[in-house]
Amino acid sequence: MSLNVLINKLRDAYSTVQSKEIDLSQQAKASFASFKDQKEVYVRNTINSSINQLREIIWKMSSDESTGLVNLYRQLEDNKANPKLALDVIDKMAELAVEVKEPITVGELKLRAPKLPSDIRDDMASDIAEMQRCFNAGCYRSTTILCGRILETALHRKYFEVTGKDILETNPGIGLGTLIAKLNDKKVEFDPGLTQQIHLINQVRIFSVHKKQNAFTPSTAQANAMVLYTMDVLEKMFRV
């Protein structure tokens, strides 16, 4: 959920608190059989969950962007039982949020393995499922590493399909670029777009795996693109 959506959600919840004269300084009733009691519990839960989500978003921002919002968040925490003061803080947050460039986010990935040769289907399905879990958990370096592993398996299988030889036995450390070149030597050609996708995934994977002077972590958008490219390559490589 985005920063602006959460701020608006909190504003609506606190406006309801004011209009319904809900006393947030008192604990909610243990029993809430009436609709009024249910509404109160819902509003309280909305406020608490939204404040927690707000904290997660703000703490993930760069220090330059978050400084003002962190101070306002702390004020909101201190005054969350006072709807008037809370609304004043929320309005100030809304003003700052306009200037914040929020990170690109995507919905939860739900992947389905394409049709694959039977001898690699189970292993590939397992890797795809793990890649999906890593992405949805926000582990983007692991996501891109698995993208590279999946493509390696696919290209090795393609080479075996054409030559009847398992290149892993003779050259276990062969890279993706070399594999593509060897397949081209065997008259197996990929369209330029597909080749570029594979090289791009390989480059991001290399930067994610090997230690550099400056640590590299793929963004959500980059990891999402790598996953989509990987699934597209599989679909086209083993198209029936």
pLDDT tens for 43-96 read: 888 999 899 888 888 887 766 667 788 999 999 999 999 999 999 999 999 988
pLDDT given for residue 104 in this prediction: 41
pLDDT at 125 over 70: yes
Structurally, the chain folds into a number of domains equal to 2
pLDDT at 150 over 50: yes
Residues 138 and 199 in one domain: yes
Question: How many angstroms separate the CA atoms of 219 and 143, rounded?
Answer: 11
What does the longest C-alpha to C-alpha distance in the chain come to?
77
Q: Is 178 helix (H, G, I), strand (E, B) or coil?
A: helix
pLDDT given for residue 105 in this prediction: 44
Mean pLDDT over the full length of the chain: 80
Stronger pLDDT, 89 or 235, i.e. the higher one: 89
Q: With beta carbons less than 8 A apart as the criterion, state whether 204 and 218 touch.
A: yes
pLDDT given for residue 90 in this prediction: 94
Q: 205-211 long-range CB contacts below 8 Å, 24 or more apart?
A: 205/144, 205/145, 205/147, 205/148, 208/141, 208/144, 208/145, 209/145, 209/148
Residue 176 is which amino acid? L
Q: Considering the domain boundaries, does residue 60 fall inside one?
A: yes
State how far Cα 45 lies from the chain centre. 25
Average of pLDDT values for 216-235?
Answer: 84
Name 121's Cβ contacts closer than 8 Å, sequence gap at least 6. 113
Residues 146 and 85 in one domain: no
pLDDT at 225 over 50: yes
Question: How many angstroms separate the CA atoms of 77 and 90, rounded?
Answer: 11
pLDDT at 158 over 60: yes
Residues 36 and 90 in one domain: yes
Average of pLDDT values for 98-104?
Answer: 60
Q: With beta carbons less than 8 A apart as the criterion, state whether 103 and 125 touch.
A: no
Kindly report the length of the chain.
240
Residues 82 and 132 in one domain: no
pLDDT tens for 3-27 read: 888 899 999 999 999 998 899 888 7
Q: What six digits make up the tokens of 67?
A: 């400084």
Q: Considering the domain boundaries, does residue 46 fall inside one?
A: yes
- 211: domain CATH number is 1.20.120
The whole domain housing 167 covers 118-237
pLDDT at 230 over 80: yes
Name 152's Cβ contacts closer than 8 Å, sequence gap at least 6. 176, 179
